[in-house]
Amino acid sequence: MRTNARGLPRAIADTRAGGSAAVRALLDAWELDDEWWREDPIRRRYFRLLLADGRVLTVFCDLASGSWFRQDG
| Single-letter residue type at 2 | R
Separation CA 51–CA 53 (nearest Å): 5
Q: Could you report the per-residue pLDDT of 26-61, keeping only the tens digit for each? A: 999 999 999 888 888 899 999 999 999 999 999 999
Q: Report the alpha-carbon distance of residue 30 to residue 65 in Å, rounded.
A: 18
Reduced to 3 states (helix: H, G, I; strand: E, B; else coil), residue 58 is: strand
Based on the number of CB atoms within 10 Å of its own CB, is 24 exposed (0-12), middle (13-18) or buried (19 or more)?
Answer: middle
**Model's pTM, two decimal places?**
0.85
Instruction: Quote the pLDDT of residue 15.
Output: 67
Tell me, what's the pLDDT at 73? 64
- Does 14 have pLDDT greater than 70? yes
pLDDT of amino acid 56: 95
